[in-house]
Amino acid sequence: MAFFTQLASSANLELLLKLGLACVVGGIIGLERYRNGHPAGMRTFAIITLTSTFLTASLAQGAFSHLMGPDDTGASRVVQGILQGIGFIGAGVIVREGFSIKGLTSAATIWAVAALGVLIGSGEYFLAIVSSTLTFLILAACKEFKISRRRSLSIVEINFSREAIPDEEALHARFGEFGFTVSTLDFRGAKGSTLQIRAQVWSTGHPARARSQLAMNLLEDAGVAEFSIEPVRE
């Protein structure tokens, strides 16, 4: 009976509201990540937001509120500790595959929901709701926004035999035939071996089609010993 009496107090009801709001906010943002096939999903984001909320709320109004100190120093330490700790989780979702880096958006979103938990735990409901809405819109709406001439980067590596080494102008012209613009062009080789050319190129047309056409062209070239074309994904 004492438990229910304590539960009905205004302070504890507000705490339950904070925890429930944290689960809803984190769950909605996590659901958007899960639907788009990202490793960190609904449960992960809900738990991160919930944890940030109850750590902030318990130190602000609970039995350990004296640890916050008489000024803002204690509160600052709590927020710093939460955001520093969440950095380890954020780093875990960032994966590098070749020239592509994946997981940056998920890591940034993990950081954002931790901050949302701090806002909810400290009672800043309006700012938390507005921020969570904007976060969701950035993740969901901006993904659907199409830029008509989006620039797509690729890394092209080609090994030419010694008797078929092209000059730099010919390479620019060759890539240009398939709609590519060359950003950087590097040459690497050794005496008696093939010459490796590594180019960073970009296209604003149909990059997948351009890469396929370039690959077919290189396959038919007897002077090309080996090649690779890798798109750079964010």
CB 117 within 8 A of CB 26: yes
Helix axes 10-35, 42-61, angle to 10 degrees: 160
Same domain, 140 and 223: no
pLDDT of residue 23: 92
- Specify the DSSP element, H or E, that contains 31: helix 10-35
User: What's the angle, vertex CA 44, arms to CA 42 and CA 45, rounded to 5?
Assistant: 70
Q: What is the mean pLDDT of the chain?
A: 78
Please report the beta strands in the chain, taking only residues with DSSP state E, as ranges in sequence order: 95-97, 100-102, 152-160, 181-189, 195-203, 224-231
| 168 and 191 together in one domain | yes
The CA distance from 124 to 43, in Å, is: 23
Q: Taking residues 120-144, what's their average pLDDT?
A: 84
pLDDT confidence tier of residue 74, bands split at 50, 70 and 90 = low
pLDDT over threshold 90, residue 130: yes
CA dihedral 53, 137, 45, 85 (to 10 degrees): -70
pLDDT value at residue 83: 76
What radius of gyration do the chain's Cα atoms show?
A: 27
> Could you say which of 95, 112, 144 is where a domain stops?
144
Specify the CATH number for the domain of residue 156: 3.30.70.260
Helix (H) or strand (E) holding 37, with range, is none
Residues 15-29: pLDDT tens digits? Answer: 888 899 999 999 899
What is the reported pLDDT for 69? 55
> Do the domain assignments include residue 3?
no
Judge if 137 and 158 occupy the same domain: no
Number of domains in the chain: 2
Strand partners, 17: none
The residue segments making up the domain with residue 56 are: 8-144
Q: Bigger pLDDT: 43 or 40?
A: 43
Quick one: pLDDT at residue 147? 47
pLDDT for the residue 8: 54
Cα angle 187, 188, 191; round to 5: 125
32 and 105: one domain?
A: yes
- Same-domain check for residues 132 and 45: yes
Split at pLDDT 50, 70, 90, the class of 131 is: very high
Per this entry, what is the length of the chain? 234
DSSP annotation of 65 reads G
Q: Is 190 exposed, middle or buried (0-12, 13-18, 19+ CB in 10 A)?
A: exposed
- When pLDDT is averaged across residues 101-120 and rounded to a whole number, the result is 85
Residue 39 lies inside a defined structural domain of this protein? yes
Q: Which of 90-99, 108-117, 149-158 has the lowest mean pLDDT?
A: 90-99
Q: Are residues 127 and 197 in the same domain?
A: no
Can you tell me whether residue 179 is helix, strand or coil? coil
Residues pairing with 72 in the sheet: none
State whether 139 and 161 are in the same domain: no
Listed range (45-59, 67-81, 82-96) with the worst mean pLDDT: 67-81
Token pair for 152? 């797509």
Note whether 52 and 161 are same-domain residues: no
| Residues 200, 226 share a domain | yes
Going across the sheet that includes 181-189, the strands are: 181-189, 195-203, 152-160, 224-231
Structure tokens at 17: 């509201």
User: Of the residues 85, 109, 144, which one is the last residue of a structural domain?
Assistant: 144
In the block, residue with structure tokens 């060359």: 182
Lowest mean pLDDT among 24-38, 102-116, 147-161, 199-213: 147-161
Q: What is the mean pLDDT of residues 123-141?
A: 88
Question: Which of 31-45, 106-120, 152-166 has the largest mean confidence?
Answer: 106-120
pLDDT digits (tens, 9 = 90+) for 145-204: 544 445 678 888 988 887 777 888 888 888 888 888 888 888 887 766 778 888 888 887
Of the residues 127, 144, 161, which one is the last residue of a structural domain? 144
Give the model's pLDDT for residue 31.
86
